Structure 1
Amino acid sequence: MPYTPTRTVLMDARTAGPLFMLSAALLFTLMSTIVKLMPEHYTVWHLGFIRCFGGMLVLTLVFSRKKNPFKGHNIPLLILRGCTGSLAFFFVVSALRLLPMSTAVVLFYSYPAFAALFGFLIYKEQVNRFQIVCIGVLLAGVAILFDFRLSASALGQAMAIMGAVLSGFTVTVIRTLREHNGPVIIYFYFCTMGTLATLPFCITHPVIPGSAVEWAMGAGIIATSVAAQLLMNQGFFFCKGFEGAAYMSSETLFAAVVGIVFLMEPVSWHLFAGGLLIVGAGLAMHRLGRIQTK
């Protein structure tokens, strides 16, 4: 007799996705805050090396004892996902260095639109009129945050959007990778590619933490990024690419609170209006996805 999932099992699956994603969003906010507060002599390359090499060490020590940590399914796609994910991180860190944290994070969370686009291009996922409207609203929110013009912070804005494009692609291909790979191996390849990209610069321009506070901040980046990435990768076992991205958009709220309350960042109507459109459009896309799968 074929097994039929019970209502309790289905409810657990529906609950697991949001819980994983919201937990990851909170931890990513903590990581972004630490990155924002790191001394200026730590460049994007140094911060990337701290996260990626530290992540490799943690994953190897905790999860890869007595087995080959590189053993996975569809190695070329794992490498590609690692490269695009690493590039996305570098772009976002650059944006965090150039823009207020709340602005950089909100701009970055335009990536549900790009996840929907890549879902259509790669998996031929249907994009209906309502989703097109949501994407248009989301991009209008981005335009409001740009104040409809390129300003002195244009480089930071461009970095955030490039990070969003690459993240949209990255979360989309996780759909294929998660079929035969767990969250650990997916993140391990991200850390490997990021380490290889940043190692040459860090060797030629080394920076050694000069105080216990800097050591603690580096450890904080590693701990929060590993935990957040594993939670997010696990969450994509229960969500489509744009659904997971919609849940992760809660990071914009967390970042806005941290930026305004603790970092004393300026408050403007652009942030609230643009952020509302971006997050609202992402949540609407998620809601539509739930309706269609019932």
Structure 2
Amino acid sequence: MLKALTPSFFKNSVLSQLPVGLRFMLLSAFGFSLMAACVKLVSASGMPIFQIVAARALISLVLSYLDIKRKKIPVWGNNKPLLIARGTVGTFGLICVYYAIAHLPLAEATILQYLHPVFTAILALLFLKERIQLSTIICIALSILGLVITVKPNMLASNAIELPTFAVGIAMMGAFFSAVAYTIVKSLSKSEDSSVIVFYFPFIALPLSLILLGGEIQMPTLFEAALLLLVGIFTQIGQVCLTKAMQTEAASKATAYSYIQVVFSILLGAFLFSELPSVWTLLGGSLIIIGTLINIFGSQRAVSSS
């Protein structure tokens, strides 16, 4: 698997000089960015978001099941109610993320998704009784300021263009559901294998998205079918490389590297959709990312000193 993810032409390239964890995180971020671009392309044809979610879930379900069988572990896990909750919350989060990708510029949709650390910190305080540190408070303050600048730039410049309020709200809901999913996963990781946790996501997402879709299935063209397949493949590449990055690099560094996805999204948005982010998007997004990085490394320092 590792050889497949690191083609031979990379071995003598600049990438070969980078730390292994950074290489995997770059591939992960690029995979997720390509996934988002494929979602935006196929949604532009009028394909329902629920159908895109169902297609991605079907591919992930097969790959996740094969992974569990390879490990020779029980499929259904131990804490079934919490596993089902993780799958349900993750499904609604994915629906919101895909809607935001379809209705917002790619860069803005990606930036807003990175608000999830703010929600995660609040949820961890409420349900896991984790203490909020100064770095987290700074993160929340900078993220809120960055959000306002990105979404409501006309508060600072009268000629600035606002993002559509409803789509922004859905994007923030996606970040919130992602935070809830991360909080549940953190609890499940004490008793469940990671492959089982991953499996429950498409296991719940597939039937739930089909129910929400109703009978409005759009028969895809060959090109659309290829895009749907690529959504699943690029998602799997992103997840596998993210896992490898976490295994070969400190979690805080690996998470910090993941923000290169914003850069990839800006480049893909400009190249594929002629989307050029405004100076307000770049400023607001920078504040959100800086705030999150402060939180990541501040939390790491607190753990090291305790």
* Range class of TM-score, shorter chain: 0.7 to 0.9
Match of 1:142 among 147, 151, 161: 147
Residue aligned with 1:126, SS: coil
Residue 99 of structure 1 is matched in structure 2 by 104
| AA aligned opposite 1:184 | S
* Deviation readout 1:18-49 (Å, 9 max, x if unpaired): 66655433211110010011143211101000
Residue 32 of structure 2 is matched in structure 1 by 28
1:286 correspondence with 2:296: yes
Task: Give the deviation of 1:63 after TM superposition.
Answer: 3.7
1:153 correspondence with 2:157: no
Aligned in 2, Cα 1:292/1:16: closer, same or farther, shift over 3 Å? farther
| AA aligned opposite 2:45 | E
Percent identity at matched positions?
A: 26
* Deviation readout 1:176-202 (Å, 9 max, x if unpaired): 222232332111100011112112355
Residue aligned with 1:166, SS: helix
Match of 2:234 among 216, 224, 230: 224
Question: Unaligned regions of 5+ residues in structure 2, if any?
Answer: 1-18, 155-160
Determine the C-alpha separation between the residues in 2 that align with 1:16 and 1:289. Answer: 23
Residue 11 of structure 1 is matched in structure 2 by none
Aligned residues between the structures: 278
Determine the C-alpha separation between the residues in 2 that align with 1:170 and 1:17. Answer: 24
Superposition CA RMSD, Å: 2.8
Range that drifts further, 164-173 or 84-93: 164-173
Match of 1:187 among 179, 192, 198: 198
Determine the C-alpha separation between the residues in 1 that align with 2:302 and 2:30. Answer: 28
Question: Unaligned regions of 5+ residues in structure 1, if any?
Answer: 1-14
Task: Give the deviation of 1:152 after TM superposition.
Answer: 6.3
CA contact (8 A) 2:24 2:244 kept: yes
1:65-214 aligned at under 5 Å gives the runs 70-147=75-152, 151=162, 153-202=164-213, 204-211=215-222, 213-214=223-224
CA contact (8 A) 1:109 1:252 kept: no
Aligned in 2, Cα 1:268/1:282: closer, same or farther, shift over 3 Å? same
Range that drifts further, 150-159 or 185-194: 150-159
Residue aligned with 2:75, SS: coil
* Deviation readout 1:106-126 (Å, 9 max, x if unpaired): 111111111111122222222
CA contact (8 A) 1:112 1:245 kept: no
Give me the TM-score of the superposition, normalised by structure 2: 0.81
Match of 2:286 among 261, 276, 285: 276
Aligned in 2, Cα 1:155/1:64: closer, same or farther, shift over 3 Å? same
Residue aligned with 1:85, SS: helix
Task: Give the deviation of 1:69 after TM superposition.
Answer: 6.1
Match of 2:225 among 215, 219, 238: 215
Determine the C-alpha separation between the residues in 1 that align with 2:297 and 2:58. Answer: 37
Task: Give the deviation of 1:268 after TM superposition.
Answer: 0.8
| AA aligned opposite 2:175 | A
Task: Give the deviation of 1:51 after TM superposition.
Answer: 0.7
CA contact (8 A) 1:140 1:277 kept: yes
